[in-house]
A and B are shown apart, each in its own frame.
Chain A
Amino acid sequence: QSVLTQPPSASGTPGQRITISCSGSSANIESNYVFWYQQLPGTAPKLLIYRNSQRPSGVPDRFSGSKSGTSASLAISGLRSEDEARYYCATWDNILSGGVFGGGTQLTVL
């Protein structure tokens, strides 16, 4: 059981905007940067968002991240079939003194 809580699944139709939440605490999300990863089937995870809301070079601006208090969110606009993947949030936990990942959210594009 992770200290970061994500919904196990999410879904949307092409063109739609969806958000994936990541809930934590003052020991992790509230006091540290949040990172988001996309894992396509059978591949290694890929960094999608760093430092709460920054996009690495090459990541489309359809992907955006935000943080407020003890929660963070990943938003995907203009949903495409190739966005179907598992998404993970990650951050540092000051109490555990270690990195933590959320349980992951499987996104289905209907």
Chain B
Amino acid sequence: QLQLQESGPGLVKPSETLSLTCAVSGGSISNTDHYWGWIRQPPGKGLEWIGSVSYSGTTYYSPSLKSRVTISADTSRNRISLRLTSVTAADTALYYCASAQNFLLNLDRWGQGTLVTVSS
């Protein structure tokens, strides 16, 4: 069974870069019918789609974050990465990675999430 596990620093300073990884087990990220996405949830608020990457490396980003975000797939390590530059307090959130089958929003497997706080 596919499992996803996010990891990365829990604290990032304003203006710096947030970097997270999502280790995938129980399946290959090269699976041709899968997309791999990042979603975040500020404390006490709703879900926000950040973006996704396909098995072939094609990326899809939220227009509101597009200028600051990079999502990539490392097939050799079977993991997905998220980079978000120039962070502010508004980027403080629980960050989830998730897999989607056939459709970008068909997010059928989620990691447990990792909390990232932006503060000096």
Interface set of A (CB-CB < 8 Å, partner B) = 2, 33, 35, 37, 39, 44-47, 50-51, 56, 88, 90-92, 96-104
9-32 of chain B: CB within 8 A of chain A: none
Give the complex CA separation of A35 and B39 in angstroms: 15
Q: Which of B47, B52, B113 contacts A101 (CB 8 A)?
A: B47
A107 → chain B, closest Cβ, in Å? 14
Contact B106 A98 (CB under 8 A): no
Interfacial residues, chain B to chain A (CB-CB below 8 A): 37, 39, 46-49, 51-52, 60-64, 96, 103-108, 110-113
Q: How far is the CB of B54 from chain A (nearest CB, A)?
A: 14
Taking a contact as CB atoms under 8 Å apart, the answer to whether A101 and B63 are in contact is no
Q: Which residue of A39, A44, A46, A98 is within 8 Å of B49 (Cβ)?
A: A98
CB-nearest residue of chain A to B110: A44
User: B61 to A98, Cβ gap below 8 A?
Assistant: yes
User: Inside 8 A of B37's CB, which chain A residues have their CB?
Assistant: 99
CB A32 to nearest CB in B, in angstroms, measures 8
- A50 and B108 contact, CB distance less than 8 A: yes
A51 / chain B contacts, CB cutoff of 8 Å:
103, 106
B27 CB to closest chain A CB (Å) equals 16
CB pair B46–A47 under 8 Å, yes or no, is no
Q: Which residues of chain A come closer than 8 Å to B107, judged between CB atoms?
A: 35, 37, 45, 47, 90
Which residues of chain B come closer than 8 Å to A44, judged between CB atoms?
Answer: 96, 110-113
Question: Is there an interface contact between A45 and B106, defined as CB atoms closer than 8 Å?
Answer: no
14 chain-A/chain-B pairs, Cβ below 8 angstroms: A33-B106, A35-B105, A37-B107, A44-B113, A47-B107, A50-B103, A50-B108, A51-B103, A88-B47, A98-B49, A98-B61, A99-B52, A99-B104, A104-B47
